Amino acid sequence: MGAVGTGVPRKEAKDKVTGNIKFVGDYISPGLMHARLVTGTYAHALLKNIQTAAAWRVPGVKAIVTGKDCSFLTGAYLEDRPPLAADKVRYYGEPVALVVADSELAAKQGAEEVRIEYEPLPAVNSVHDALRPGAPRIHENLGEYRRVKPVFPETNSNIADRVKVRKGDMGKGWAGSEITVEASFHLPQSDHVAMETRCVRAEIAPDGRVTIHSSSQAPFVIRKLISRYFLIDTGKITVIVPAVGGSFGGKAAVQLELLAYMASQAVGGRQVKLVNTREQEIISSPGRIGLDAEVRLGATKEGQLMAAEITYLVDGGAYSDIGAVMTKSIAADCTGPYKIDNVQCDALCVYTNHPYTTSYTGFGHASYTFAIERTLDMLAKKLKMDPWQLRRMNAIAPGDTSPTLTGLTTSNLGDTGKCLDRVKQLINWDEGQVVTGQDGKIRAKGLSALWKTSSTPTDARSGAILTFNPDGSLNIGVGAVEIGQGSKTNLAVMAAERLKMDVGKVHVMMEVNTHAHPEHFKTVASMTTFMAGRAVLEACDDIIHQLLSMASIVLRCSPEDLDVAGGRVFLTDNPNMYVDITELVHGYKYENGNSIGGQVIGRGSYIMRHLTEMDPETGKGNVGPGWTVGAEAVEVEFDPGDFTYKMLKAVAVLDAGKVINPRIAQAVVMGRMNMGLSLANREGLIYSGSGVVENASLRDYKIMRFAEQPQYTVEFIETPQIDAPYGARGLGEHGLIGMPAALGNALSAAARVELNQLPLLPETIWSVKEGRP
């Protein structure tokens, strides 16, 4: 009855193709109140006055909340963000006020009537602007902010955090380098563009119990922060997350939930709904980091990498949110999956007057990978070496160490070399990187390798509770959210495998309820299969133990004589002697009425082990449980006449450890590849000179559409991670990571010019070719 490795359809599939599935915004309840955000129209300005009189006159308006009504600052690592701007706005679109009304219409009318007076301040419009001496200070009181976790803001600067990695000896590295290259890169901020915009409902019961419904990846963090900021016991807070309409990291940030709570509080606890418009989704809620990078690589003439000196400047926007962790994560994996013994990396999380940012699929890895992999292609050129060969010979392997000096083994590291080998075949690399066609069009390929470990807190945890229905079917209760990645189905597959039962008899619930389900850190970092999987397997083992011991009484034997499979507990040596688990799961009842055992309830939990913080001076530390590695390639057809191009093929080979569900794994990787190409090929926030975002709508912020995608091929290598469930490594984000770099390498080869910025528009290529700034 093997379920692992077979293509099990998603549990919620039927609901999704019939419109039956419910997202937070789909619940309509009588008496629901509506809140609407009023957002700032300057990137950097003092708030002189907020006039609400006209808004109060709108019939139906019941409350108006402004920054004056909330005295706390919030933040994941560094508490630097007021939930509503109080003294000044620090980015275009920052929430300034909240109008609560008895209808959506009145809330919008009220919001339109709020008048805000500003005194504009000079805006910091790039990371370089931010670091310039005398740059305007975005946070005057940076030094006084409360630090929730290790983070090192630098007073009197626009630096929220600085992470250093020092490995080996740079002097030696450079001395051994016969060839060096260096290059600078610029990647703009961008947006998640989950199709469901963020949405929350909040209510406060008369006895003080708080219920929040949110489209979130982090219900347990919401509970923690509501408790922290509003001084409510966590036990009195219930956070419920139904299905989520895409999130990609963006819904791991806690923002609207705090506002919705304040809105509800302002109307006596009544249930209030707050939903982002698309514009607010793009600018007011956090998006994706920008990155400016400088990379210098040294190698021997034979191509062995000797040294890497790297500066990463993360454009985290106006508030640090998860930016500090992302900066750490970028620094920890800063070289990509290559063996380099001498590494110096400085990664800075920089404040600008841009929209603030949070986690995003790939957690910063796609950004730095673009810089590293582009530099590698430039190095290959200088070495007159095949770019694939350069990667292959330097691919990191067991026995090497990571930039933060974690020892790499066959378990905690996948097989980069194998991935590169397979990608080479799939993209037909040997045909030649650049082929010019009869029609003058140029077909060109680009490569990228990738790796990523998770950067969870060192005590990240998960849990599972399994119960049975009278028909012997199983219910999985976990705190991990279904955001489209199919993880609930994967957990069902793992449980079915361990309990040797039909996966059709394993039920999962789309909803997560913090009161009913055990805590799961957050549904991020591709860690659901690992963490929740470990918990579910432990719970399965717990169940097996209970079933065997109860059955051993019924069948008068020792538990060791028994096995569980196909809904029965039976004697291993005589399967005809068995008891049906339906007779056991709610306690076994003898004919005379005597009963034993009680309900079978499986419990499992998991906590990360052996993780450490990074050393502030050297970066030394163990940041994640294992690296998923991979290689990707893109083939384009480029028109040298007008610099337009078509993406023909994209290939990914990832070391999955073990593929739990090929259907879902393929689909998820392909989706992230598409997103990576979309980011590289067209996306990016565009600012005016004063920091105003000019493309805050789907009319102007373009994402890839149907029929623009290349032909995708996804394959997996399986090098098991020993401590992971069935050996499965995280997969949820990795498809994205190498795509921008592979596209950049393909186009640079095709256009014979170094393309070191994103997005790769025809105009970008034209202007680099023309030597325009």
Partner 1 sequence: MISFDFEYYRPDTAAEAAEIYQVLSGAGKNPLYYGGGTEIITMAQSNQLKPGAIIDIKQIPECNVFEVRNDEILIGACLNLNQAAEGNLFPLLSKTARGIADHGSRDKITIGGNICGKLIYREGVLPFLVADGEVVISGQNGAAARPLSEVFSQTMQLRPGEFITQLKVKRSYASVAFFSQKKTKQAKVDYPLLTVAALRQGDDLRVAFSGLCTFPFRSVNIEQDLNSRDLSWESRVNNALGRLPGPVLNDLRGSAAYRLFVLSGALRDMLTQLKGVGENVSNA
Partner 2 sequence: MFQMLDIGPLELNVNGEKRTVVARPADTLLYALREHLGLTGTKNACETGDCDVCTVLIDGWPVKSCHMLAVEAVGHQVNTIEGIKGSPVQTAFLAKEAFQCGYCTPGYIVTAHALLTLHPDAEDEVINEWLAGNLCRCTGYQEIKEAVLMALGR
Residue 355 binding partner 2, by CB under 8 A = no
The yes or no reply on residue 195 touching ligand FES (CB under 6 A) is yes
> Is residue 250 part of the contact set for ligand FES (CB under 6 A)?
no
Query: Residues 426-465: x/- map of binding to partner 2 (CB under 8 A)?
Result: ----------------------------------------
Query: Is 486 among the residues that bind ligand FES (CB under 6 A)?
Result: no
Q: Is 336 left (phi over 0), alpha (psi -120 to 50) or beta?
A: left
Q: Which two tokens stand for residue 702?
A: 């373009």
* CA atoms within 13 Å, Cβ hemisphere of 671: 17
Site map 391..410 versus partner 2, x via CB under 8 A = --------------------
How many Cβ atoms from other residues are within 10 Å of residue 710's Cβ?
19
* Closest distance of CB 758 from partner 1, Å: 12
Tell me which DSSP letter residue 413 carries. B
**Interaction of residue 387 with partner 2, rule CB under 8 A:** no
Number of residues forming the site for ligand FES (CB under 6 A):
3
Q: CB of residue 213 vs partner 1: minimum separation in angstroms? A: 21
- Among 590, 705, 770, 772, contact with partner 2 (rule: CB under 8 A): 705
If the CB atoms of residues 556 and 772 are measured against partner 1, the closer one turns out to be 772
**Is residue 481 within the footprint of partner 2 (CB under 8 A)?**
no
35 and 107 Cβ atoms separated by less than 8 Å? yes
Is 492 a binder of partner 2 (CB under 8 A)?
Answer: no
Tell which one of 123, 142, 366, 668 touches partner 2 (CB under 8 A).
668
Show the DSSP H helices in 642-738 as ranges. 662-682, 734-737
Could you write out the DSSP letters of every residue in 697-710? STTTS----TT-S-
155 binds, among partner 1, ligand FES, partner 2, none (CB under 5 to 8 A by kind): none
Binding site for partner 1 (CB under 8 A): 104-105, 108-109, 112, 641-642, 681-682, 686, 694-695, 699-700, 702, 704-705, 707-708, 759, 761-763, 766-767, 772
Measured from the Cβ of residue 341, the count of other Cβ atoms closer than 10 Å reads 17
H or E element at residue 37: strand 33-39
Stretch that binds partner 2, among 259-267, 348-356, 623-631, 672-680 (CB under 8 A): 672-680
CB nearer partner 1, residue 136 or residue 762: 762
Q: Going by C-beta distance under 8 Å and a sequence separation of 6 or more, which residues neighbour residue 771?
A: none
* Residue 402, token pair as written in the block: 């990571």
The stretch among 137-145, 193-201, 494-502, 545-553 that binds partner 2 (CB under 8 A) is 193-201
Answer for the pair 544, 534: CB distance below 8 angstroms, yes or no: no
Residue 327 CA: distances (Å) to CA of 152, 184, 255, 334, 630: 11, 18, 21, 10, 22
Helix segments in 157-203, DSSP class H: 170-175
Q: Which of 484, 567, 621, 630 binds ligand FES (CB under 6 A)?
A: 484
- Which of 315, 127, 221, 101 shows the shortest CA–CA distance to 523? 221
Q: How many helices (H) and strands (E) does the chain have?
A: 18, 30
**How far is the C-alpha of 94 from the C-alpha of 554, rounded, in Å?**
65
Which amino acid would we find at residue 327? T
Longest dimension (CA), the chain: 92
The SS3 assignment for 111 reads helix
Residue 53 binds ligand FES (CB under 6 A): no
**Which residues ranging from 210 to 269 are in contact with partner 2 (CB under 8 A)?**
243-248
Nearer to partner 1, 227 or 695 (CB): 695
Q: Is 246 in the site for ligand FES (CB under 6 A)?
A: yes
Sites of contact with partner 2 (CB under 8 A)? 9-10, 12-23, 25-26, 28, 104-105, 192-197, 243-248, 277-278, 483-486, 663-664, 666-668, 670-671, 673-675, 697-699, 703-709, 711-712
Residues binding ligand FES (CB under 6 A) = 195, 246, 484
